[in-house]
Structure 1
Amino acid sequence: MPAPARSSGDLLADRRYAWAEAALAEGDAQAAADLAGQVLERVPGYGPAWLLIGRARAADPALRAGAAEAFRAALALDPEDALGARLHLAELGETAEDAISPAYIRALFDGYAGRFERHLVEGLGYCGPALIRTALERLRGPDLFFSRVLDLGCGTGLMARALEGIAGSLAGIDLSPRMLAEARRTGLYARLHEGDLRDFLGAEPPASADLAVAADVFIYLREIGPVLTEAARVLAAGGLFAFTVQGHPGERGAVLGADGRYAHGVATLREAAETAGLAVALLEPAEIRRQNGAGVPGWLAVLAR
């Protein structure tokens, strides 16, 4: 899913860019590339046009080198990578660093916030928050309660609603200000913060939370070990960290899939938990959502401090 394009500042260029997007959607890669080239003739520094040329060229295996060149041009114009050029480069095997930038996630979800819940729940059968709630009840019984809760990657507040009745003071963190605006409307959060969850955890006092949750968040992170380490520091004794991850058939490592999301190996997950000083209280296969009519395999995990 490409990040939304900002205006070039030139009305005619914007119109041709829209035609280029339409041509690519209809399968006419050559027309899309030609139109995007016309955009760049008028506005040479318009990164989205370079990204579109890369996407058009990538449709032809013979043009992969040219596609990579276009994606690198887009990245040079947008070093924070709100456009997601690194993700496209990773799909071409051109980069080993984190393919999904915080700026890309922010741009993606800012444009997605208004329809996020309907698409995710109704369209993709997303059930991460419900899975986490049920897992916590299985571990702690029907009278469970967590006084201090951290919702990592809180989005619009789906997880907060799933925790109603068992969560006291709830703090949420998300990269997208528009998603946070939706979360604020729930009235369920004592605190909401905009930023990266790793920075957020690093600023939280030690032993200050009884529960941390992350529903469908690690699909955007290649390395989850640092997050587990910070979560262990922030959790009080006996505290829990409950989350879902997308899985792949292998035992180890993170794999960037065709869906542009990271899937994690279960052995790597266990090792990261052990390194962080967290014990596995529950780890089981789970279908975290549906995509193209098929279940997406993953893992439901609850780790204990």
Structure 2
Amino acid sequence: MERAFLSSGDLIADRRASYADMLFESGDHVAAADLMRQALEITPEWTAGLFRLGEMQETAGDEGAAVVAWRKLLKLDPDDRFGAGLKLAASGYAAVPEAPPPAYVETLFDAYAPTFDNALLEKLDYRVPDLLAKAIEESAPDRRYQSVFDLGCGTGLIGSHIRERCDFLAGVDLSDAMLQKAADKRVYDSLTKGDVNEFVMPQRSVDLVIAADVFVYVGDLHRAFVNVRRALTLDGLFAFSVETHSGEDEMILQPSLRYTHSESYVHRLLSEHSMCVVSIRREDIRLDRGQPLSGLIVVAGPVPG
């Protein structure tokens, strides 16, 4: 998926940036970075251009110049809408944050919303909604749910799978543009803008919480698990996915700026928050640069007391 192009406000700078993108796509990364640098000479405080310059310089092998661009961008944009801090962390020039900046997540998905469904389903063989829906059904065949919360609902891809099995379906997301796409599907009873780490669900009144492909943009899952456990009924289910890795680290910020989580981390967090695994399965969840991406499809519930 490509981010939306954000104009510099200067026609000549925009034209050079457009040519730079064409050079970059053709594989001439050094020339692309040089032309983008020329565009930034015209509009030196163009934040979107600075981020793109850093990406081009990094790909061209000039990591030092990329770091300079991202550090300058952080000074111009402390909210870090483009993820410069994440880039620095992923490159080893800053500590890995426990969570990405909310402004970054919101900006990213506002830009992706118009092409999100098509990009995932048609180009990336996205399987998380199907896999989670199947795991939920296998965990509780034919069960009907009174109240379902879809955390990080996005455009509502999982909502369409669960709608017929619940009385009330609520979605929460940080992106207004994604929420509008979800509203267009007409499957949710309630849609709310909010951060999945901060959103407080009704205490002990939810019998299914879903987080489909959300935790890759959360990082440390502690706060999210606290909120989920507080809301779940005694027989409720928590169905979620994570991208995963095979190493020993519990959480890794990947070059994609998405977080992966180990299976041991998932088990530890569930245990710490008085939940247990109902089912857990490693699956290929979508394509990434033409290669299958590994994830965990998890259904959990409160420890019987």
What amino acid is the match of 1:243?
A: F
Structure 2 match to 1:265: 262
Pairwise CA distance, 1:239:
1.0
Structure 2 match to 1:15: 15
Pairwise CA distance, 1:147:
0.6
Whether the aligned pair in 2 keeps the contact of 1:251 and 1:268 (CA below 8 Å) is no
Structure 1 match to 2:208: 211
**Is residue 304 from structure 1 mapped to residue 298 from structure 2 by the alignment?**
no
- Cα RMSD after superposing both structures: 1.9
Structure 2 match to 1:112: 112
Pairwise CA distance, 1:29:
3.0
Whether the aligned pair in 2 keeps the contact of 1:288 and 1:296 (CA below 8 Å) is yes
Instruction: Give the SS at the match of 2:163.
Output: coil
Pairwise CA distance, 1:2:
6.4
Structure 2 match to 1:227: 224
CA distance in 1, matches of 2:57, 2:127: 36
CA distance in 2, matches of 1:219, 1:73: 26
Pairwise CA distance, 1:280:
1.4
5 Å-filtered alignment, 1:286-305, equals 286-305=283-302
| TM-score where L is the length of structure 1 | 0.92
CA distance in 2, matches of 1:65, 1:291: 27
Structure 1 match to 2:78: 79
5 Å-filtered alignment, 1:193-212, equals 193-200=192-199, 203-212=200-209
Pairwise CA distance, 1:137:
1.6
Pairwise CA distance, 1:11:
1.9
Whether the aligned pair in 1 keeps the contact of 2:244 and 2:260 (CA below 8 Å) is yes
Whether the aligned pair in 2 keeps the contact of 1:220 and 1:262 (CA below 8 Å) is yes
Whether the aligned pair in 2 keeps the contact of 1:3 and 1:107 (CA below 8 Å) is no
Pairwise CA distance, 1:225:
2.0
Structure 2 match to 1:177: 176
CA distance in 2, matches of 1:51, 1:156: 26
Whether the aligned pair in 1 keeps the contact of 2:153 and 2:173 (CA below 8 Å) is yes
CA distance in 1, matches of 2:113, 2:56: 27
Pairwise CA distance, 1:251:
4.2
Residue ranges of structure 1 left out of the alignment (5+ in a row): none
Instruction: Give the SS at the match of 1:280.
Output: strand
5 Å-filtered alignment, 1:127-206, equals 127-142=127-142, 144-200=143-199, 203-206=200-203
Instruction: Give the SS at the match of 1:198.
Output: coil
Structure 2 match to 1:6: 6
Instruction: Give the SS at the match of 2:239.
Output: strand
Instruction: Give the SS at the match of 2:82.
Output: coil
CA distance in 2, matches of 1:212, 1:292: 30
Paired-residue identity, %: 37
Instruction: Give the SS at the match of 1:281.
Output: strand
